[in-house]
Chains A and B, each alone.
Chain A
């Protein structure tokens, strides 16, 4: 079974530029998560989708971050404009064949973003 795929793996941009990350979850997983992991910290949830709908985006900085999940499969996370403090690893995870609550989340390899 293929795992969670993410691209790009690395990205370097200057502040105030825009950037987008892509995630393809495990086939059949209804729930998709984007986490931000700043160096030396544990991951923090940015947004959670179940199928096409947003379940939780309470910690997403909506003035600069946006995310969508087209057709309940792939997802894109965008930052516009980027700030220095956005430098982090952005992890995508997916869970559950039926969107149930108790499934383990499986993480992708992450996108490492450096904002200069």
Chain B
């Protein structure tokens, strides 16, 4: 059974600091997604990572994938308040269904 774990579950950061969210998964998959969810809102797709060593960047967020270690990271550079949200990683299963991690609640403090 495919399982996905994220850590930390909660992250309080100061503006301008850097930090990394980690996502581990238990079995092989050909796709890993990162989604953002604002309070009371739906999920917004951020990145899809397809192959070992894949790296994607958008603004202050950078995601990477190591399929051998079954690990993805979401790195936040010079955090700003607008990045406050819950971030989920999700791994695609055999039928394209997504198995989500527990989420990381990110709070960026001024």
Chain A contact residues, CB within 8 Å of chain B:
31, 33, 35, 40-45, 48, 55-56, 91, 93, 95, 101-110
Point out which of B30, B33, B100 has the most chain A C-beta atoms below 10 A from its C-beta.
B100
Chain B positions 63-110 with a Cβ under 8 Å from a chain A Cβ? 88, 90, 92, 95-103
A-B CB contacts (within 8 Å), total count:
56
Q: Please state if B96 and A41 are interface contacts (CB–CB under 8 Å).
A: no
Distance in Å: Cβ of A59 to nearest Cβ of chain B: 9
Q: Please state if B95 and A109 are interface contacts (CB–CB under 8 Å).
A: no
Distance in Å: Cβ of A46 to nearest Cβ of chain B: 10
User: A42 is contacted by which of B42, B48, B50, B103 (Cβ under 8 Å)?
Assistant: B103
Distance in Å: Cβ of B40 to nearest Cβ of chain A: 8
Complex Cα distance, B41 from A44, in Å, reads: 16
Q: Please state if A55 and B95 are interface contacts (CB–CB under 8 Å).
A: yes
Chain B contact residues, CB within 8 Å of chain A:
4, 30-31, 33, 35, 41-45, 48, 50, 88, 90, 92, 95-103
Q: Please state if B96 and A43 are interface contacts (CB–CB under 8 Å).
A: no
- Residues from chain B with a CB closer than 8 A to the CB of A48 are 95-97
- Residues from chain A with a CB closer than 8 A to the CB of B97 are 33, 45, 48, 56
Complex Cα distance, B102 from A42, in Å, reads: 5
Q: Please state if B98 and A43 are interface contacts (CB–CB under 8 Å).
A: yes
User: A109 is contacted by which of B41, B48, B99 (Cβ under 8 Å)?
Assistant: B41
- Residues from chain A with a CB closer than 8 A to the CB of B33 are 104-105
Q: Please state if B100 and A44 are interface contacts (CB–CB under 8 Å).
A: yes
Distance in Å: Cβ of A75 to nearest Cβ of chain B: 15
Distance in Å: Cβ of B36 to nearest Cβ of chain A: 11
- Residues from chain A with a CB closer than 8 A to the CB of B50 are 102
Q: Please state if A106 and B45 are interface contacts (CB–CB under 8 Å).
A: yes
CB-nearest residue of chain B to A59: B97
Complex Cα distance, B35 from A104, in Å, reads: 11
